Amino acid sequence: MTKVDQGGESLARSILESKAARARAMDPAEKFLAGPRLFEMVRERMLCGIRDRHPELGEAAVEAEFGRQMAAIRAREERGIYTPVPQGSIDDGPTGAP
């Protein structure tokens, strides 16, 4: 590993540690609000990327592509988590309400 690579790793580690320290210092309300802020930041970056790759698309088409990409990401992340259960295979216990 070169000195430049080591310096880059050291800088990246330092930045990560700094971010982690700031996150630990946040109170619960700040942490709660950080999620939507981060999502909006990433959303804007994704929209910029879509516009950059597809300058011919109008705003509605850019939003539609964003939705398609988000659905693909979600499907990939959730693959195998949910499995269909055949109807009637779950024992609901005794039937009949009082």
Q: Is residue 97 pLDDT above 60, yes or no? A: no
Cβ atoms 27, 39 nearer than 8 A: no
Cβ atoms 51, 57 nearer than 8 A: yes
Name residue 5's amino acid. Answer: D
List, for residues 39-96, the tens digit of each pLDDT value.
999 999 999 999 999 999 999 999 999 999 999 999 998 888 877 778 777 766 666 5
Q: Which residue has the higher pLDDT, 93 or 97?
A: 93
3-state secondary structure of 94: coil
CA-only gyration radius of the chain, Å: 23
Overall residue count recorded for the chain in this entry: 98
pLDDT of residue 98: 53
pLDDT band, residue 4 (cuts 50/70/90): low
- Contacts of residue 70, defined as CB under 8 A and 6 or more positions apart, other chains included, come to none
